[in-house]
Amino acid sequence: MLELAMSIRPIKRLIKSKPTLEGAGVHLRRAFGFGNTTEFDPFLLLDDFRNDIPDDYLAGFPWHPHRGIETITYVLAGTVEHGDSMGNRGTISSGDVQWMTAGRGIIHQEMPKGDEVGRMHGFQLWANLPSSLKYTEPHYQDMKSEEIPEVIEDDGTRARIVCGSFWGKTGPVKGIAADPIYLDISVPPRKRRSIPVETVRHAFAYVFAGNGKFSNASDPLAVPTESVGWADTTPPAEADNRSLILFDSGDEVVVQAGDDGIRFLLVSGKPLEEPVAWYGPIVMNTQEQLQQAFEELQEGTFLEKKPRQ
């Protein structure tokens, strides 16, 4: 029986994350989000909130609403204290993950605190909910660092499996509508590594340490494929710190680590292919649903239980 050749995912785009101000004045970098996020479906936004200056993040994200999405917070250093309208309170710290399903509606706050040297590092990813779950019950999954499995390959490549199944291990976060695979991957210096990704999934990588090159089809990519509307700057020659790589279809991603190795998030999910009506922290399917949500916020009925629509 012939063995089928793996197809390397071509690179659609390489993007440098952009400085953004959010919450009560938190300085962060946005890799993608708002505008048209169809190519990232079922994901909506990725924020990189690594910062070493307490004045740039301590104001935090005071009370604000969410509906129709799930937020995934992955902390690398420092802590994030959270509270919500249901009376939940907690703290996630280095290596921990919080997966919040906003469902029909929640009002919460997230207040970052630095570690002993002032570092507050982490990421927040937003995943869309399908129309059938937009009005589901809100809930959390908090996972401590020690609950997240790590696989170490013979060549020294490491993968922390936050969600989904990969290399024989399954992450602790369960029952997520978008069925994502969320990995934190480290490839040692000068190693070349192939990583399988199901063809049916949209996938992206976000590099946050070291540097390297991702292969584009059969050749190493020195300069990424330019998309229509690329008017920013000359694309960087390599994927380095704070670079987002959006992949086209295929069943594997290939990376060649640079002299310092490379560490990146690799996230993939099955697209929902549903209409998106989006304003700020509320993501629905129609403008009418969006309008209803904001009317409920004004009327004080946002948190009341709704029939599934």
pLDDT at 238 over 70: no
Going by pLDDT thresholds of 50, 70 and 90, the confidence category of residue 295 is: very high
Q: Has residue 292 got a pLDDT over 90?
A: yes
Rg of the chain over all Cα atoms, to the nearest angstrom: 19
Tens of pLDDT, residues 120-157: 999 999 999 999 999 999 888 889 999 999 999 999 99
- pLDDT tens track for 93-122: 999 999 999 999 999 899 999 899 999 999
Are 284 and 275 in contact by the 8 Å Cβ rule? The answer is no
- Answer yes or no: is pLDDT of 182 > 90: yes
pLDDT of residue 149: 95
Task: Return the higher-pLDDT residue of 247 and 1.
Answer: 247
Cα dihedral 249/32/17/101 (nearest 10): -110
